[in-house]
Chains A and B, each alone.
Chain A
């Protein structure tokens, strides 16, 4: 791949360790350079602005996912058979098989259980007063809900978060971080194959739906393990990211916390604002399967473009005062859950979990304060805290 579109080039590495820890200056420079920017290190065209990201996500016939959405050919080959990595009828078939379990309609019956679990998590946290926002608040609910829903056997759960994080790392470029965690991504793949072979999924789960579909001949048996990972891996880290970012933002913007406490009906909008400002997923790629015009730049067929959700969501062309945290802003059009055909299938569940935690906290906690220096997890694609020491003052 070379810069055949003659787009402005960016020679710094947004996937370096420092670029992972503090990505926003990279995004600002990319947006300044133009609507299409050649990343010299990764040899792809980055789309750092809102309008082009949205247009490319909408045009899923020209900008295909079926050749992979990762930034390296190895992961793109390994992720064949997933919903993430497919187009058209194949994508529709895979998405319909499982996504219906995750629609808000299907989740209505789960909402009481999730609220109850959220209450227990917040109870325990408030009683301790000093907590790690990541481990004690953000992880607790997704780990209590998602593995059961997907039907992952009890004995394979201790590695889940590390494996899921590694699966995201593997979607980045072939860098040091990729090498460091790739063995864990492979472990998840191997474990998932064993689960499918032994049929050790939980009864009534999404995993069982997958096996049944394979038995009925509507799904090749070889695709089962990939589909399990497809729905399990993205349901953990992402929600952990959103909840911990919310906690961090409210701890550093106490006036916004008071606004939320005074009007809890703002919770859904507040969560969208969190996902806009601190998008859990940085970027995925698409392959142009025809010559295309993106923001006035001619992208030749066969090029790979990088949709930088996290940058689009802070594009000053789209948002007033984009770096400000304002839970009352008109924010629903953000791209934090992607957009279009490949829009996050689990967003209903992510909303359910995150909103339940925020509602419980708003009802019970007067102040959220930082009680130490937060640290960032290092991951090519997932943007989240590793540790977030907090003090909760009960109302």
Chain B
């Protein structure tokens, strides 16, 4: 454990509400302990602001252990801050030094409008899920779980994709604000598993369509998404989704309905 406290300057994006103009404001953070998490440092700054009669900085957070996907700060230009493979809430002040100026912004993307200060609206991700991010399995109608074995390698790869926490860092990191990594993770997780086959084509077509409609950009293979992803989800899944999508769109062009899907 480190000892000795220090001071930093926070340059924070403040915006009173959706569609309103915003700007950067400087705040001093004193007595920063290296073992504090980044969000705990913001808690302390907010309490000081409150006591001084200011308005605390709004930021999104919840589980504070890197799994709920709520926290979403762009720190010094990097979604989720300086460390690889962690979320904002798992960023610690031991990565900073006395006198640092830290720039804090929301995740920026056209499809993620700012609600207030550092909080954005990421409901587009929910709409993409609703379009097809599921396997239709009515409650009570499931077969015995061990009836169809799944090779360990397949299950492990599906789990690699399924780890996505839906935070949107991939979008914020991408110069095109593309959501391809997010969508590809879900499409791959479900499409790899035997249970996901009946709806595989319908799923990828519907999710990609909803993604495009939500205003996310296209992928130009820069792979900034994987670099920013707190779960380091591989961009290989984007290639997998592209294959699935091409196959599905090709088939759908020759048939009235995509094969195997559609019954819901």
**Does B associate with A?**
no
Binding site for A on B (CB under 8 A): none
